[in-house]
Chains A and B, each alone.
Chain A
Amino acid sequence: QQQVKQSPQSLIVQKGGISIINCAYENTAFDYFPWYQQFPGKGPALLIAIRPDVSEKKEGRFTISFNKSAKQFSLHIMDSQPGDSATYFCAARIQGAQKLVFGQGTRLTINP
């Protein structure tokens, strides 16, 4: 099973709050889990990524939490800002393969 299921489809958070987006997968052969950020009219851009040998990775206000046993990973955006309003995609790569499998996307809106 090469799917990655992402939720919620849309999310509204107040400025300063914590935004949380979740992804789940079935294939235990996935070995790389990136998150991409996409602003309207632009292509997606890599935000942060994690490998399954660590449980958490933090870069500034963005944190990936990874639960290998539950086959879930999530993106946390601390102190969310209006400039974080974008669509976020989780993705996964099968070990040894070139291609990425993407989640359905989450449209995040941060209200000022």
Chain B
Amino acid sequence: NAGVTQTPKFQVLKTGQSMTLQCAQDMNHEYMSWYRQDPGMGLRLIHYSVGAGITDQGEVPNGYNVSRSTTEDFPLRLLSAAPSQTSVYFCASRSSRLGSSYEQYFGPGTRLTVT
């Protein structure tokens, strides 16, 4: 069981470039989410998905797109990177089945720098 995996671990982008942060989980979890972590701001929810084909916005969705074509994968797309998107990005998943715990499992993170 690999849990939640994220690639890449590090990325440097120039302003205006696009890229996709990959996230995959092998626990058959229905719920997946993306957070960004900035000093003094905690973890802020960008987008989340309650199942394949269903996504919704979190508290800081601007500048990011997501899709969920399979249960396992939940990529995060930056269409035109801005310096304000410099952050550490975490993907998380958890089971939504009745009786399951509410524990979210986090990936190891992607550290993104936009210059």
Task: Please report A residues at the B interface, Cβ cutoff 8 Å.
Answer: 6, 9, 32, 34, 36, 41-46, 49, 89, 93, 98-105
Task: Please report B residues at the A interface, Cβ cutoff 8 Å.
Answer: 4, 31, 33, 35, 40-45, 48, 50, 58, 90, 92, 96, 102-104, 106-109
Contact: B106 with A32, CB < 8 Å?
A: no
Given A98-B48, A98-B50, A45 and B106 contact (CB-CB distance below 8 Å): yes
Distance in angstroms between the alpha carbons of A108 and B23 in the assembled complex: 29
Residues of A with C-beta under 8 A to B58:
99
Given A89-B42, A105-B42, A44 and B103 contact (CB-CB distance below 8 Å): no
Residues of B with C-beta under 8 A to A49:
102-103
7 nearest A-B pairs in the assembled complex, by CB-CB distance: A43-B106, A102-B43, A104-B42, A102-B42, A46-B103, A44-B106, A105-B42
Contact: B107 with A34, CB < 8 Å?
A: no
Contact: A43 with B102, CB < 8 Å?
A: no
Distance in angstroms between the alpha carbons of A102 and B104 in the assembled complex: 12
Q: How far is the CB of B55 from chain A (nearest CB, A)?
A: 12
Question: Closest B-chain residue to A107, C-beta based?
Answer: B39
Distance in angstroms between the alpha carbons of A103 and B108 in the assembled complex: 20
Q: Which of A34, A45, A89, A102 has the most CB of B within 10 A?
A: A102
Contact: B90 with A44, CB < 8 Å?
A: yes
Distance in angstroms between the alpha carbons of A6 and B45 in the assembled complex: 17
Q: Which of B4, B58, B92 has the most CB of A within 10 A?
A: B92
Distance in angstroms between the alpha carbons of A53 and B53 in the assembled complex: 35
Can you report 15 residue pairs joining A to B where beta carbons are below 8 Å apart? A34-B102, A42-B108, A42-B109, A43-B92, A43-B106, A44-B90, A45-B106, A46-B104, A49-B103, A93-B102, A99-B33, A102-B35, A102-B43, A104-B40, A104-B42
